[in-house]
Amino acid sequence: MPETVYDVAIIGSGPAGYTAAIRAGQYGLKTALLEKDNVLGGTCLHVGCIPTKALLFNAELWDHLKEAGEFGIEGVEARKLNWAAVQERKAKIVNKHTKGLEFLMKKNKVEVIRGYGRLTGHAQQGIHTVDVKGPDGKTKALKSRNVILSTGSEARMLPGTEPDSRILTNIEILSLKEVPKSLVIIGAGAVGVEFASIYKSFDADVTIIEMLPRLVPVEDEEVSKELARVYRKRGINFHTNARVEKVEKVKEGILVTITVEGKQQKIEAEKILIAVGRKPRTANLGLEMTNIKPEREFIKTDSWMQTTEPGVYAIGDIVLGTPQLAHVGAMEGIVAVTKIAGKPAKPVNPERIPNATYCHPEIGSVGLTETRAREAGYNVKVGKFPFTANSRASIVGRHEGFIKIVSDADYGEILGVHIIGPQATELIAEAVAAMEMEATVEDLVWTIHAHPTLAEAMLDASNSVYGMAINA
């Protein structure tokens, strides 16, 4: 039997890897997808995007029930949370989509290979050899013309801490047997503020500790301010400009020592979640046998996701300089495979990547913040519209937040859109599409939006760039 030579071997089956595999199959490329774990889907499906959003939806329903009286619904005061059932529903969603991925691999003739993949060096006559260590401990050589690395990331820990039943990462916190009475969260990025939102809704005493001056530090300053206002109202405690000095285990839980503006404080809690960023998984991949020299453990690529080793591509959380988001990895996978297939491709544009944070209130954003636009030298003009003046927001009883459009006064170019409030993670899609099509604020102003919708706030925000919002 002649040895199989694949067109593409993809190492890692997270959203970056599985998307690349499906597109490769659609192009008729002979494709192998390697996965070290016994399920496909990676961080996103098993311990990231999907389970967190499932819990956030439970939390939202629970919060609605707390306010049921306001909507004329009585008899739900004696409500009871069945945490085991909440966890079971989350697991069902994950299982359903894991099976869905297996089906999609078969449908697109992608060969799934269980095992740990490692590069072995440069290609010989255009063919790479990847060592695959299977679950039986045996290593086999796999041949492929192209290799895509999509090995993802894992939680960074604070020095001297290891995950266990009290010190948690995204993995442990997703399978707690009960809601903790109190929780300290280190890090106020998307992961930190989402878990704060979930556990506060379920009545835990939550405290966030952030080293930088504000919550969600990558977002527009006004968005951070609004989130801080609502979190204060929700009773979520937070300390910004705070440095963690020590994390100790005490009899009842965890004792965290922090320094804020030179003063030491101690916070005790049942559990602590470490959400200080994600470390790319690039060790033990055989990179030292190639021309790839990781920078701070990330892999540098060109616009087509090609690394410095011919025929080897990198996509997803391991890539230097693009945000660690599932939809970014997925698009990078499509770019890489399209290039391999010799079809016309479009590189990922960092200014058109949506950020979505599903806490309550939700946050959706794309492009430049007001500060970054000013720093870049634009003649900035801002339009802002509050959800308090939007009729659909009144109907759904969610009035926090606003839509803010950052534009260039000279040409009406949309430089950035920042939304905090109801359905912000859905509403941002319009802004991304508008920016991708290079629409101007003027184009948005003439776009008819259905009434009554939350999306109308986008129309009002664009009119407000000219000081002419209809509803405020």
Ligand X SMILES: Cc1cc2nc3c(=O)[nH]c(=O)nc-3n(C[C@H](O)[C@H](O)[C@H](O)COP(=O)(O)OP(=O)(O)OC[C@H]3O[C@@H](n4cnc5c(N)ncnc54)[C@H](O)[C@@H]3O)c2cc1C
Residues at the interface with ligand X (CB under 6 A): 11-17, 34-37, 42-44, 48-49, 52, 116-117, 150-153, 170, 191, 281, 285, 316-317, 324-327, 329
Does residue 451 carry a catalytic annotation?
A: yes
Nearer to ligand X, 326 or 432 (CB): 326
Smallest separation (angstroms) from ligand X to the CB of 49: 4
Smallest separation (angstroms) from ligand X to the CB of 163: 13
Whether residue 301 contacts residue 313, with contact meaning beta carbons closer than 8 Å, is answered with yes
Nearer to ligand X, 326 or 336 (CB): 326
Distance CA 246, CA 266 (A): 9
Nearer to ligand X, 52 or 146 (CB): 52
- For residue 302, the one-letter residue type is D
Residue 452's contacts (CB-CB under 8 Å, 6 or more residues apart) are: 390, 391, 392, 395
Radius of gyration of the chain (CA): 24
Smallest separation (angstroms) from ligand X to the CB of 135: 12
Nearer to ligand X, 185 or 244 (CB): 185
Smallest separation (angstroms) from ligand X to the CB of 394: 28
**SS3 state at 124:** strand
Distance CA 128, CA 309 (A): 11
CA distances 455 to 10, 348, 357, 402, Å, are 39, 26, 18, 11
Which residues are paired to 111 by β-bridges?
Answer: 32
Helix (H) or strand (E) holding 425: helix 424-436
Which residues are paired to 266 by β-bridges?
Answer: 257
Distance CA 413, CA 331 (A): 24
Cite the DSSP H helix spans in 341-388.
Answer: 370-375
Written as six digits, the tokens of 222 are 């006004």
Catalytic, out of 128, 239, 418, 451: 451
Smallest separation (angstroms) from ligand X to the CB of 464: 29
Residue 376's contacts (CB-CB under 8 Å, 6 or more residues apart) are: 368
Nearer to ligand X, 37 or 351 (CB): 37
Distance CA 166, CA 173 (A): 9
Nearer to ligand X, 305 or 439 (CB): 305
Residue 54's contacts (CB-CB under 8 Å, 6 or more residues apart) are: 89, 90, 93, 94
Smallest separation (angstroms) from ligand X to the CB of 192: 9
Nearer to ligand X, 194 or 456 (CB): 194
DSSP codes joined into one string, 380-420: EEEEEEEGGG-HHHHHHT----EEEEEEETTT-BEEEEEEE
Whether residue 126 contacts residue 312, with contact meaning beta carbons closer than 8 Å, is answered with no
**What strands, in cross-sheet order, belong to the sheet with 271-274?**
167-168, 271-274, 182-186, 205-209, 237-239
Nearer to ligand X, 305 or 417 (CB): 305
Smallest separation (angstroms) from ligand X to the CB of 79: 27
How many CA within 13 A on the CB side of residue 2?
3
Smallest separation (angstroms) from ligand X to the CB of 358: 6
The residues assigned a catalytic role are 451
